[in-house]
């Protein structure tokens, strides 16, 4: 399109943003209007995409990081012929695909859910990594961000990662409209303040008038020709551009225009321009290629005198999975020697991504890789995943299929102390919509669950332990998701101990001690914490009358609450005792930590005696 046509297209995008928000009675038209010229030039002259084939491997990828500006995105879809005017005016209405903030669950052209600011660029980095190192199909990733969200630390994790990886297939477009939600941003229209920051992370920077379509055209061309560096286009814009009464005015964020009809008339009225978006480059389809037969590592039952750490089993299983499946990729937060992701890195360096100590970026990159059809496993200490929780939450909203693995869980890690102990992770991951939460107790169980995770939907979480554990299952044992293992039972059981991970072995030792005293105890390994095995738990409650949960985790939201979920259908809740970490740990040996927390074999046996004694009717 030429200059005049681009100006007209930008005005149409503004008008349609105002119309959609007015029809909804809510939305962010002023935030959409500021970026309309940036979007018009991109859509008409630079974006390569087949809207009829969103899965085309040669398609460019666009991420609207400032997801509240969704009216602009939907107006662009209309201009491209992907939606019609009737659908545009269903914005924010029940049943509409055009949600207040875009999600790929509703629209096939959306790469990732946005709306929690500061996430679009990190995910865009993940998509660009896929294009640069894995897909190699020549597509470009465009990310439109707002200036307010540049206050988020996650943006600078992404900026550093992109600079380090020389992602010259990535272009960030910053809509510097000066105004946030409650007033002016930190740097206002000081474009150089943003440029200096990006330059420090190795980006090529272009400062531009965001309402000069010819300058924008030149800037995009410069970005496409820049090699060896990602490019950021820092555009000075005005919020509410084009309507005198609202242009560059505070207090109008997130509000439809009061005089929408007048604003539309001032913008030149309703238009129906159509854009012929450039075709993507020819590229091979990306398939999930299986490169060999999957042979998981095997350990003989009871053969390891000192046991095998589940983190070691995880690392070996992940490396084997990478050999068996060409679509598996691994990411780590600079702790690969501890998490054992280094085993995968040595076997498959081309599919390994070191994210350094940037957990938000690690999870975001996993989401971006998943959007391109890969099966990512992202690993760090369980405790450190907490700082990336918002990215996990947004991954769920996206419907992203990612595998997260948290090592060094619970007080059992020992002397490192509470800052390193994952004691909230089960609760955090269980609360995520559609998640799967797994906690294996031995090496063979870990290996099988690592492989099973790859074929699940949504967010999957596996918890591993630092210390060695006895091998109690044979390599041929099966561990269905949503299942459990009854390790000990009899017709004379007087209570049931439900455990997972490290506490399974403590529960077995306690059961042995109680058995010598004539107290039979059923032991359930609840390795699938979500979904939980309701049938087995209900049967145990019916048979034994008493349940005791034992977990290396805080009491709130973990194993005990998962067990309670089995009794939320109106049936009587059995007598339940919950052993969990209720105090703030210090530094001590693993055995001392378990005892201090009251979750070791001795504590379980003591609680069991008391529970059985109190359950006896005189």
Contact status, residue 127 vs residue 135, Cβ threshold 8 Å:
no
Contact status, residue 521 vs residue 495, Cβ threshold 8 Å:
yes
Phi, psi of 207 (to 5 degrees): -100, 135
Q: DSSP string spanning 67-118? A: GGGHHHHHHHHHHTTSS-HHHHTTTTSTT-S--SS--TTT-TT--S---STT
Closest Cα partner for 232 from 193, 199, 210?
199
Phi, psi of 81 (to 5 degrees): 85, 10
Cα-only R_g, the chain: 28
Q: What's the Cα-to-Cα distance from 357 to each of 123, 221, 307, 385, rounded to whole Å?
A: 17, 34, 30, 11
**Distance, CA of 597 to CA of 566 (rounded, Å):** 26
Q: DSSP string spanning 577-589? A: EEEEE-S---S--
Exposed / middle / buried, residue 276 (Cβ in 10 Å: 0-12, 13-18, 19+)? exposed
The encoded tokens of residue 292 equal 């060999």
- Hey, is 611 helix, strand or coil? helix
Q: Among this protein's residues, is 555 annotated catalytic?
A: no
End-to-end alpha carbon distance in the chain: 90
Positive or negative CA dihedral for 408, 413, 415, 419? positive
Instruction: Name 68's Cβ contacts closer than 8 Å, sequence gap at least 6.
Output: 28, 31, 100, 101, 115, 254
- Helix, strand, coil proportions of the chain in percent (round to 5)? 40, 15, 40
The encoded tokens of residue 82 equal 């992907």
Phi, psi of 323 (to 5 degrees): -70, -40
- Hey, is 590 helix, strand or coil? helix
**Of 207, 359, 506, 551, which is the active-site residue?**
359
Catalytic site positions: 359
């Amino acid at each position: 399109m030429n200059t005049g046509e681009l100006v007209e297209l930008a005005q149409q995008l503004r008008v349609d943003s105002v119309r959609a928000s007015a029809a909804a009675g809510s939305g962010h038209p002023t935030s959409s209007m500021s970026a309309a010229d940036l979007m018009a030039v991109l859509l008409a002259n630079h974006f390569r995409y087949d809207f009829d084939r969103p899965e085309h491997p040669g398609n460019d990828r666009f991420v609207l990081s400032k997801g509240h500006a969704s009216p602009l995105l939907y107006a662009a879809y209309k201009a491209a012929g992907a939606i019609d005017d009737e659908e545009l005016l269903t914005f924010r209405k029940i049943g509409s695909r055009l949600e207040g903030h875009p999600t790929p669950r509703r629209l096939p052209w959306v790469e990732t859910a946005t709306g929690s600011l500061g996430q679009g660029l990190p995910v865009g980095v993940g998509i660009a990594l896929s294009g640069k190192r894995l897909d190699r199909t020549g597509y470009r990733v465009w990310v439109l961000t707002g200036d307010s969200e540049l206050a988020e630390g996650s943006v600078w994790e992404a900026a550093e990662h992109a600079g380090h990886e020389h992602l010259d297939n990535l272009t960030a477009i910053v809509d510097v409209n000066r105004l946030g939600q409650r007033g002016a941003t930190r740097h206002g229209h000081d474009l150089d303040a943003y440029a200096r920051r990006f330059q420090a992370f190795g980006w090529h920077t272009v400062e531009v008038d965001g309402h000069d379509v010819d300058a924008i055209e030149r800037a995009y061309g410069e970005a496409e020709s820049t090699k060896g560096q990602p490019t950021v286009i820092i555009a000075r814009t005005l919020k509410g551009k084009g309507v005198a009464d609202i242009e560059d005015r505070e207090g109008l964020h997130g509000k439809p225009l009061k005089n929408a009809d007048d604003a539309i008339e001032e913008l030149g009225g309703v238009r129906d321009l159509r854009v012929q978006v450039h075709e993507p480059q020819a590229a091979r389809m990306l398939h999930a290629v299986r490169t060999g037969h999957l042979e998981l590592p095997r350990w003989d039952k009871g053969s390891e005198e000192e046991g095998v750490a589940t983190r070691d089993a995880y690392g070996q299983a992940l490396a084997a999975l990478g050999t068996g499946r060409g679509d598996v990729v691994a990411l780590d937060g600079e702790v690969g020697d501890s998490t054992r992701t280094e085993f995968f890195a040595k076997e498959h360096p081309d599919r390994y991504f070191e994210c350094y100590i940037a957990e938000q970026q690690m999870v975001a990159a996993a989401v971006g890789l998943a959007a391109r059809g890969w099966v990512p496993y992202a690993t760090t200490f369980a405790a450190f995943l907490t700082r990336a929780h918002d990215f996990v939450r947004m991954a769920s909203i996206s419907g992203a299929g990612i595998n997260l693995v948290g090592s060094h869980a619970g007080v059992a890690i020992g002397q490192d102390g509470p800052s390193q102990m994952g004691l909230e992770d089960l609760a955090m991951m269980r609360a995520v919509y559609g998640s799967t939460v797994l906690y294996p107790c031995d090496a063979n169980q870990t290996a099988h669950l690592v492989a099973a995770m790859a074929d699940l939907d949504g967010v999957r979480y596996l918890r591993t332990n630092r210390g060695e554990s006895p091998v109690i299952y044979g390599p041929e044992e099966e561990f269905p998701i949503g299942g459990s293992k009854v390790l000990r039972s009899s017709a004379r059981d007087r209570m049931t101990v439900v455990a997972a991970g490290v506490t399974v072995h403590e529960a077995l030792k306690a059961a042995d001690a109680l058995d010598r005293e004539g107290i039979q105890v059923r032991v359930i390994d609840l390795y699938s914490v979500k979904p939980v095995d309701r049938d087995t738990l209900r049967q145990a409650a019916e048979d034994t009358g008493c349940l005791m949960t034992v977990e290396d985790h805080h009491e709130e939201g973990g194993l005990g609450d998962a067990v309670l979920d089995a009794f939320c259908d109106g049936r009587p809740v059995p007598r339940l005792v919950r052993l969990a970490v209720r105090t703030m740990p210090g530094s001590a040996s693993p055995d001392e930590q378990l005892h201090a927390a009251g979750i070791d074999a001795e504590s379980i046996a003591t609680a069991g005696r008391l529970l059985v004694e109190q359950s006896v009717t005189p």
